Structure 1
Amino acid sequence: MNDTIEDAKQVISLSDYISQVGNLRSYLKNKENIYYRGQNKDFSNTLPSLIRNENYLNNEDKLINDFITKYPELFCDCQNNFDRLALMQHHQLPTRLLDLTSNPLVALYFAVERSNEGTDKDSDAVDGKIFPFTNFYDPVPLLDSLRDEHFENTKKEFLSIKGNNRQFLKSPFSDEIEIESSLARLNGDDRNYVLNEVNNFYKTLNSVDAKPQTYWSNLYADIVNSLENKRDEGGLLNSYKEFNKFPSTKRLYHEIKKDIGDFEDQINPLELFVPKIVTPRIIDQRIKNQRGLFMFVPFVCNYGFEENGSQVALNSDEVQKRTQTRINILRLLSDSIDPQPKPMSFVIPHCKKASIRSELESVGITESFIYPDPSHIAHEISKTY
């Protein structure tokens, strides 16, 4: 599934991990933040469970709407569709949100956390892993992802936001996050139609951007500012208008306006291509203790383009592969001096998990700290007797 070659660092103790995390700052080129994902098994990818299960992915809207229908009282305090998705993720419903934390010790806890005790699936029999992410993209994985789609000419459209973390670090109230959260709630046909139209727009933009400058950033600014004479090029404005008046796009706008009544019908299709890190509202002590954030994993259309421009259906494996490549856009990479920088990761050998758990407990990173609810606190108390 994922043939990414990584720069994997082995962790054998808590002090070793703290030292290596401290060294990560030397890999940063700007004022990036670092976010971590800990997994107690060395999976071959960092895909959310929704993306790893084709049936879940095909029924994304039904998962969401069925849960809301069965437990409407849970969502009384939710202010938008992202709030609803975050709450569903909190209650273990498969979503396209990927759990992250800004606390490296919390990520280490998840990497060594024991599960399935007393069975042959005990996670202490396999290595754990931690993946660092940042809120600034690196051009190498971005270009890889654009090449997947044969949209590599559009790379320069992203250069203007190279030093701007607003593109990738979002609040739960941002328009971009509301757009994508609402897209998740559209029925499968409408969502696929919207994504197909977005792909057609990218194809047009890729053709226009074969010329030696960028065009969309100027045109979109003219659209937002309602200028009469817009800086159009190569039919780009017409392609955007076609996307905007498509019936499924209009239904997406309708879904958005349920939360944002005065939303302007001016989606920037370029925003939909990249992942985003979202700081959620602190809805309970668990999110506060875990220093939790989410990555909103971008949508990948189930139709792509071949090099000659013809459209081709993508199977589940290819959708997963392309989604993983997009997630990698925000992976922390090894030193830029390396001609081929590699995504960073930490590997915790299974034989070291128990000792590292004990070390974490000694500094207060315990089960009841990570999961401050009565059932987990009761479980932790029972283990002491």
Structure 2
Amino acid sequence: MIESLFDYIKSISDIVGDNEKMFVYRGENKEYPIPCVPNIFRESRRLEYINFEKNIIHKIRSEGFDNETSYLLTAIEAQHGGFPSRLLDVSFNSLIALHFAVTPFYNEKEDVYDRQDGKVYVIEANNLYSPSSLEIEELYSNELLNNHSFKNEFPLFSYSYKMLDYHTKNSRIKAQQGGFIMFYGNEFRPLPKSVVNELTIPCLSKKRIRIELEKLFGISNAFVYPEMNNVANRFVNTLEKYSQTGLSDKGDLNNILESFYQNIDYCTKKIVYEYNKYKGHLNRLSVYKEENNIKGMTKYCKQNNILINFVDLKKDGSPKNKTKFYKIWEKEISRSLKNDTIIPEVIALERYLIEVTMDINLSKRYLVDENKNKPFDEKYFDAKVSKFFEMLLCNQYEILSLVLGNIDIELMDWTNIFKEYGDV
């Protein structure tokens, strides 16, 4: 929870620290059910009309808004003009992202979203590319603008994306130090949790932070939408971060598998962390019980947001019926803690595994279809993807079984979920 510019800078510093990795930032001035979604994936017309994305670019050129020969560079111009695209705006400047988290677009009232919390997403920038790269331009124009291309139709490639460095095409992108994340696929898949850190900007802090940004750094709407700025120094400093790998279908598949591994490993570690926190709370409460310190126990619950609404409390926070409280506290508090800490993380991992497993099975179906052009066959896919994912699931299952072996958690019935997808 970020209540001031100082809080924000400290939090960013804690995340980035001495890390050699590069990060990009995205600010959203309210909380969306799914964050970091390119606007074209909210447009059903994209799939209804085969050339919807390409036609947007042609229309922009025909109206004289852009004279580029590159589809991608025109799309970048269109993105900043409010047109839908599969590009997601990000910034290489964390303060710019904070500005967008507390300030609406320049044509809206400054405080229009001041009753809603803002969000800043700190995203690890893997495989950075230049938007002027010929490979990236060919990928975008030949594959991603075509609904029926392998890159878009192959379900597993919906997990693929490319990070694009910012381009000095117009002064607005320069001022915002803006880059882009270019998503593959006809269906949107969120960025892996393992590469995203989330910071919340409480609605009551937005006005204060807007003032601090302008006073201390001169960042306001007048700054982020100008026709100026020189970014030559940054060009030189980031060239070494550009990806050294080419753009191949098998290379993308390797990147996706690495992303799966990192994301599942991250989710597993998060569950283990929540479990340790859960056990720590129970151990501390047991000490209070042994000391017969019921006031200390209820105070500890209140300080740590542990629900104890299963008993009636006095005004001072202690239970009216101590005998009843001691009789059922361990069971009820354990259940409350489990529901608030461990279970949400298990559900999040479970949903992710179900989604990925379904996409793997759909991808295998795609490879069996004789009418599709494919860069690799089902045999390669089984050896590369299916076995890897099976091994990954088994490893994580063993870890979680050891950690959560004595915790009662009801999981989904995968049999019913996958009965139409064949063997799983």
> Shorter-chain TM-score category?
0.5 to 0.7
Q: TM-score, normalised by structure 1?
A: 0.52
Shift in Å at residue 108 of structure 1?
Answer: 0.3
1:107 corresponds in structure 2 to 97
Distance 1:117 1:194 in 2: 37
Residue type at the aligned position of 1:39? E
Tell me whether 1:283 sits opposite 2:283 in the alignment: no
1:12 corresponds in structure 2 to 3
1:36 corresponds in structure 2 to 25
Of 81, 89, 93, the match for 1:91: 81
* Structure having greater relative contact order (Cα 8 Å, sep ≥ 6): 1
1:85·1:181 contact (CA, 8 Å) conserved in 2? no
Residue type at the aligned position of 1:293? G
Shift in Å at residue 122 of structure 1?
Answer: 2.5
Measured at CA, do residues 68 and 34 of structure 1 come closer, stay the same or move farther in structure 2, by a change above 3 Å?
same
Distance 1:27 1:346 in 2: 19
1:56·1:94 contact (CA, 8 Å) conserved in 2? no
Shift in Å at residue 59 of structure 1?
Answer: 3.6
Q: TM-score, normalised by structure 2?
A: 0.48
**1:120-150 per-position Cα deviation (integer Å, ceiling 9, x unaligned):** x9211100001111123xxxxxxxxxxxxxx
Q: 5 Å matches for 1:10-89?
A: 10-26=1-17, 28=19, 31-45=20-34, 46-59=36-49, 61-72=51-62, 73-76=64-67, 78-89=68-79
3-state SS of paired residue (1:294): strand
Tell me whether 1:361 sits opposite 2:205 in the alignment: no
Shift in Å at residue 62 of structure 1?
Answer: 2.2
Distance 1:282 1:373 in 2: 11
Tell me whether 1:171 sits opposite 2:130 in the alignment: yes
Q: Which has the larger radius of gyration?
A: 2
**1:184-234 per-position Cα deviation (integer Å, ceiling 9, x unaligned):** 333x4x34x6644x45xx7xxxxxxxxxxxxxxxxxxxxxxxxxxxxxxxx
Deviates more, 1:174-183 or 1:88-97: 174-183
Of 357, 370, 374, the match for 2:224: 370
1:101·1:292 contact (CA, 8 Å) conserved in 2? yes
Measured at CA, do residues 60 and 40 of structure 1 come closer, stay the same or move farther in structure 2, by a change above 3 Å?
farther
Number of aligned residues:
223
Measured at CA, do residues 274 and 117 of structure 1 come closer, stay the same or move farther in structure 2, by a change above 3 Å?
closer
Distance 2:152 2:97 in 1: 33
Q: Which runs of 5+ in 2 are unaligned?
A: 229-424
2:166·2:177 contact (CA, 8 Å) conserved in 1? no
**1:80-138 per-position Cα deviation (integer Å, ceiling 9, x unaligned):** 2211211110111010000000100000000000468579x9211100001111123xx
1:50·1:57 contact (CA, 8 Å) conserved in 2? no
2:160 corresponds in structure 1 to 274
2:192 corresponds in structure 1 to 328
Residue type at the aligned position of 2:140? S
Residue type at the aligned position of 1:354? K
CA RMSD of aligned residues (A): 2.8
Of 125, 128, 137, the match for 1:135: 125
1:97·1:294 contact (CA, 8 Å) conserved in 2? yes
Residue type at the aligned position of 1:134? E
Distance 2:200 2:47 in 1: 29
Shift in Å at residue 57 of structure 1?
Answer: 4.6
Residue type at the aligned position of 2:225? Y
3-state SS of paired residue (1:88): helix
3-state SS of paired residue (2:65): helix
Measured at CA, do residues 184 and 17 of structure 1 come closer, stay the same or move farther in structure 2, by a change above 3 Å?
same
Of 111, 123, 126, the match for 2:113: 123
Shift in Å at residue 180 of structure 1?
Answer: 3.2
Of 293, 300, 303, the match for 2:179: 293
Residue type at the aligned position of 1:184? L
Of 188, 192, 199, the match for 1:346: 199
Distance 2:48 2:135 in 1: 23
**1:136-181 per-position Cα deviation (integer Å, ceiling 9, x unaligned):** 3xxxxxxxxxxxxxxxxxxxxxxxxxxxxxxx21111335422331
Determine which structure has the larger helix proportion and give its number.
2
Distance 2:5 2:197 in 1: 18
3-state SS of paired residue (1:125): coil
3-state SS of paired residue (1:293): strand
1:152 corresponds in structure 2 to none
2:275 corresponds in structure 1 to none
